[in-house]
Amino acid sequence: MLDRKEDILILAIESSCDETAASVVRNGREVLSNVIYSQIALHTVYGGVVPEIASRKHIEKINQVIEQALAVADKSFGDMTAVAVTYGPGLVGALLVGVSAAKAISFATGLPLIGVHHIEGHISANFIENKDLEPPFVCLVVSGGHSHLVVVKDYGEYEIIGRTRDDAAGEAFDKVARAIGLGYPGGPKIDKVSKEGNQDAIHFPRAKVVGAEYDFSFSGLKSAVLNYLNSCEMKGEAVNTADVAASFQKAVIDVLVEHSVHAVKQYGFDKFAIAGGVASNSSLRAAFEEECRKNKIHFYHPSPALCTDNAAMIGTAGYYEYLKGTRHGFDLNAVPNLRLGERL
Ligand code: KG4
Ligand code: ZN
């Protein structure tokens, strides 16, 4: 039925949060199509992602997005080698839509099914445009749900050396944006408005976790911003939104840069990568660019469109899982709290 082919073509599906996405990736690093239906506009009115609405929209869009990914790549199901899908972590109802679609495709076509960890996908986004990047390296993963410092020992082999104790970096961006009236999604809005602000206007705390040099904590910073806003209101002082945004952003970036560079040096690597939605932040990229140059560390980052959720990154991670022999059965389920490196 399916011929042996020289090229390995992965059809990848991603639906863990509020993007319905599908992609065709050739030999791990060549993206033939990358279709994303973003639900952001739909959730903006609620100030954040509403899980039930996300699931329903995924159901409505998933087949269309998959068909489009194949059409843009000028391929059919029969040309594919395997189907890869995000099965966690994420919103359970949202994940289930992608997982069910992938299982149905696998059942109907006989293509092997490969479940992919969403964060493994984010990390793998670095392989797409950086053809020379090979493990081992240190990767900072900063998304809406995660802030991890990870040693990428080999393809698909990770050691988490630091994590957030409370809010994820993206979550802090989203909450602070809401507090200063910028709305959802907060990260890109803070990024933009910060360019008109003074990052040294207000000193917000840079939290350290005692006894865990690579861990992060952002909830104290978020509270400091809220306290600052309250005290301005009580004193009847006007709030300069751009200054608050820029000063908050600088506090987050300082901690991320300091911890990451320290880890790269301590572990003796000369390669460092960033991943996840927050990695598209322009000031964060500039700060890492400079600090890595000073410390003679090669700095890798995906282009902004590959930092936020997409299926191409799942196709790349799926390719390396395919090579390692990872195959899932039809009992593959959505795992909302799947841990990095965990294989279910
Ligand atoms: O990786 P992602 O698309 O989804 C998750 O897996 O969570 O990340 C979304 C997060 C949101 O919190 C969003 O506000 C943040 O990434 N984000 C940004 C920027 N673009 C997206 N944060 C800071 N600056 C940005 N430019
Ligand atoms: Zn993500």
- How many whole angstroms from 276 Cα to the centroid of ligand 1? 7
**169 C-alpha vs ligand 1 centroid, how far in Å?**
9
Task: Give pLDDT tens digits for 310-319.
Answer: 999 999 999 9
The better pLDDT of the pair 246, 2 is held by: 246
Ligand nearest to the CA of 245: 1
Condensed to tens digits (0 to 9), the pLDDT of residues 68-124 reads 999 999 999 999 999 999 999 999 999 999 999 999 999 999 999 999 999 999 999
For residue 248, give the ligand nearest its CA. Answer: 1
Give the β-pairing of 113-117 and 82-88: parallel
- Model pLDDT, residue 5: 58
Q: Whose CA is nearest to atom 10 of ligand 1?
A: 144
Given this model, what pLDDT does residue 3 score?
A: 44
pLDDT at 239: 96
The hierarchical CATH code for the domain 134-302 is: 3.30.420.40
Q: Tell me which amino acid residue 11 is.
A: L
Phi, psi of 196 (to 5 degrees): -95, 0
- Alpha carbon distance 27, 41 (integer Å): 34
Cα separation, 269 vs 54, whole angstroms: 40
**Atom 23 (ligand 1): residue with closest C-alpha?**
187
Whole-number Å distance between alpha carbons of 336 and 15: 12
Q: Is the CB of 308 under 6 A from ligand 1?
A: yes
pLDDT over threshold 90, residue 185: no
Angle between helices 219-235 and 169-179 (to 10 degrees): 10
- Taking all residues of the chain, what is their mean pLDDT, rounded to a whole number? 96
Q: How far apart are CA 294 and CA 339, in angstroms?
A: 34
Ligand of minimum distance to the alpha carbon of 36: 1
Which residue CA neighbors atom 21 of ligand 1 most closely?
A: 277
Predicted local confidence at residue 184, as pLDDT: 86
> Is the distance from the beta carbon of residue 191 to the nearest atom of ligand 1 less than 6 Å?
yes
Q: Is ligand 1 within 6 A of the CB of residue 278?
A: yes
pLDDT band (50, 70, 90) for residue 343: confident
- Which amino acid is located at 280 in the chain? S
Q: Where do the domains of the chain lie?
A: 9-124+307-324, 134-302
CATH fourth-level superfamily of 9-124+307-324: ATPase, nucleotide binding domain (3.30.420.40)
Burial of 331 (C-beta count, 10 Å sphere; 0-12/13-18/19+): exposed
The sign of the torsion formed by the CA atoms of 143, 146, 149, 154 equals: negative
Residue 18 CB less than 6 A away from ligand 1:
no
Q: In this structure, are residues 51 and 81 in contact, taking their beta carbons and an 8 Å threshold?
A: no
Question: Can you name the residues that pair with 84 across neighbouring β-strands?
Answer: 12, 114
Enclosing H/E stretch for 9: strand 9-14
Residue 304 phi/psi, 5-degree rounding, is -50, -40
pLDDT tens-digit profile of 41-54?
A: 899 889 889 999 99
What does the block give as tokens for 153? 């020992």
Provide the whole-model pTM.
0.95
